[in-house]
Amino acid sequence: MLTGNRSVPSEQIRTKEEGVFGRWSGGVLLLLLLLWLPGCIVSINPGQAGVFWDISHGTDTSQVYREGVQIIAPWNRMYIYDLRTQEARIRLHVLSINGLPIGMDSSVIYRVNPGTLPTLQETVGPDYYHVLIAPYVRSEARKIVGRYTPSQIYSNQRELIEKEILKNLREKLRPYPIDVSGFLIRNVRLPEVIRVAIERKLTEEQNYQRMEYVLDVARKEAQKRRIEAQGIQAFQKIVQSNLTREYLIWKGIRATERIAKSPNTKVIIIGGGKNGLPVILNAGSK
């Protein structure tokens, strides 16, 4: 019977160490793969488009990636842009032509042109709204609103101001793939004293216009009656000029004939005039 420590061959120890190391490295690789995998899968939703950026070549200007799933290397990147029409609400603080502060709630409606999306990525980037649209809206609003009085802005010039700002925005954004389809002023906030004074003035103008309308109707009605009176007067002159003795005798004869032919007539009274006509038509009696 043998006693003492039994030696293990070095080859077996090396094989076990390699097996443990292999399992450990495989687990690390699997873990790294699981960590990298979400960054490799890019989902582009409906109404969106992507611009691909490669770590070696930079922005891919030859292709715009449309909706679907894209597989990329974890060290590359896909920039997603929304292609749908969007509305951005901007609160503006401007000055009128006489220096009064005016607050305006506005909306700008815009969308990105997908055809030249890589150009937007290279020149501006995904934050193009805060870099381009919002600053241009504020600048053009201050410049254009400053040409008008508070009364004009509050009442009858709002649509004209909207058109001018929209026109200038389109001109400013022409070099970029951004289409601005509308600019709206939703609300105008004036100092309380100015607002009350403008509303009072507008009320007075409306009352004046209402009174002008009432007076105009009265004038037209008076003119109508004057024309009718002139027509009646002219008719009477024509009738009087044609009421000759012979005409009246003829009308009397016709009336007598109709009375005689009437089925309800029982007694015919012939007047005692010169021509034997009813007394009421006796043109010859004096």
Residue 273 is predicted with a pLDDT of 52
**86-190, superfamily in CATH?**
Band 7 domain (3.30.479.30)
Ramachandran class of 276: left when φ > 0, alpha when ψ lies in -120 to 50, beta otherwise: left
Quickly count: other Cβ atoms within 10 Å of residue 9's Cβ. 8
Of 15 and 214, the one with more pLDDT: 214
Give tens-digit pLDDT for 103-159.
Answer: 889 999 999 988 888 888 888 989 999 999 999 999 999 999 889 888 788 777 888
Mean pLDDT of 84-105: 89
Confidence of residue 213 (pLDDT cuts 50, 70, 90): confident
Residue 183 is predicted with a pLDDT of 95
Amino acid present at 118: P
Name which of 22-36, 39-53, 182-196, 242-256 the model is least confident about: 22-36
Give tens-digit pLDDT for 43-57.
Answer: 888 888 888 888 888
Of 135 and 5, the one with more pLDDT: 135
Of 54 and 254, the one with more pLDDT: 54
Instruction: Give the phi and the psi of residue 229 in degrees, each rounded to 5.
Output: -65, -40
Quickly count: other Cβ atoms within 10 Å of residue 38's Cβ. 9
Residue 110 is predicted with a pLDDT of 95
Q: What is the pTM of this model?
A: 0.56
